[in-house]
Structure 1
């Protein structure tokens, strides 16, 4: 799946105003969200016998692959109800595209069996390293666009260190806002199921850039440095 993204920051003094404007544009009320993200380090895949032999026979030297971050994400409702975990991986954003961030992602909703299989790899191959919350958050849907506004919160040291999948959800009041100014992260995305279909990608590009023009003067949507979103471990 291909994901096209634009970002902005909303100062706390304009947060309520932006929510009202988006409610008018989308003709809907914002959906409150409280999202929990667990970060894991996943080593590169080990080559099997045939692949390893083929690589050894190549004349050019192949650079070693790096470990990457993978995410487990779920929405935790205010009443304590939790949605299932979603496993998400993100490729390095494509080079040469300057008007949006364009990257390949995979997302898979985990069943109880999938979650148990993932748990078995933790500590052996995949290693837990950190987590954060996105709260208070709001989500809008506008045609094919997903709009999210939230503050990113770091959790207290040691949270989930023993078994993050079973640990209680961190209390928001015990977490710390990453941006000390109190600004909200504004993210708008459009997803294209078949990233190899240039016509679909072009349509998605037109929709997200059209939204940027629509909110110009209200939200300053921009493109960060693509390598700032590199999922590979430095």
Structure 2
């Protein structure tokens, strides 16, 4: 999958490209507090709560019949500020999607084969000032669904980054009407490692071993497994 074209010069941004290795586990709501305590004990850190607003886009032009070129969904992602500050700011003007600070994310279809982890390329760009929504439109993408994701994260080692400071934070998102996608309020545990390139075999092997070690630590508490590829299919059909 080719990387997305760079933003125009008037839009400040920081690009990133990496190879993601990951394992997944389904966590029932009743087990979530226990899982949080276990992982906090392993990492020596408390989780960081994050609420993200995802805008999903698809190419305006359909795939040509007989073409071997795959078309992929693209996401714009913005981190929603904490709820208390959000309520204070909602009273002053509400939520304006165009004034958010967005980052772009384009995920490849996971690699095929009997690998011990889910493996795929990820491309992204963090935007500072400028019209990110207008940029995505100019690249030939149209708006599809929108989702909001709540996550609890532990980052053991931050990768080197030259992102624009505070580029992901924008106006508050109205969360009062949000409903969980799963009525049972279950969670998905994702353990992921980023390496610079899938061609860096030494780093990929190290990543495999790190995930294998974490899987063993969590054995008996939850089952971390390779996810079905079609569950992470980012291709447009």
> Mind listing any 5+ residue stretches in structure 1 that lack a counterpart?
47-60, 146-165
1:178 aligns with 2:219: no
1:111 aligns with 2:115: no
Contact 2:81-2:172 at 8 Å conserved across structures: no
Taking structure 1 as reference, are residues 44 and 228 closer, same or farther at Cα in structure 2, changes over 3 Å only? Answer: farther
Which residue is 1:75 aligned to? 79
Q: Deviations over 1:12-48 (max 9, x none)?
A: 11111111111111101111111111111135799xx
**Offset from partner CA, 1:160-216 (integer Å, 9 cap, x none):** xxxxxx996241x31221122211111111000122111111111111111111111
Judged with a 3 Å threshold, the aligned counterparts in structure 2 of structure 1 residues 101 and 43 are, in CA distance, closer, same or farther, namely farther
Q: Given that residues 22 and 191 in structure 2 are in contact (C-alpha distance below 8 angstroms), is that contact kept between their aligned partners in structure 1? A: yes
Measured at CA, do residues 168 and 42 of structure 1 come closer, stay the same or move farther in structure 2, by a change above 3 Å? farther
2:40 to 14, 23, 30: 23
Aligned partner of residue 122 in structure 1, secondary structure: helix
More RCO (CA 8 Å, sep 6+): 2
CA displacement 1:139-160 (0-9 Å, x = unmatched): 1123579xxxxxxxxxxxxxxx
Counterparts of 1:88-167 in structure 2 under 5 Å?
Answer: 88-113=105-130, 116=131, 118-122=133-137, 125-135=140-150, 137-143=151-157
2:218 is equivalent to residue 201 of structure 1: no
Aligned Cα RMSD in Å?
2.9
Match of 2:220 in 1: 217
Partner of 1:157: none
Is the CA contact 1:7–1:185 (under 8 Å) kept in the aligned structure 2?
A: yes
Deviation at 1:84, TM superposition (A): 3.4
Q: CA 1:45–1:177 in 2, change beyond 3 Å: closer, same or farther?
A: closer
| Structure 2 unaligned spans of 5+ | 1-17, 90-98, 160-169
TM-score (ref. length: structure 2) = 0.73
Q: CA deviation at 1:8?
A: 1.0
Number of residue pairs matched? Answer: 196
Give yes or no for the alignment of 1:5 onto 2:18.
no
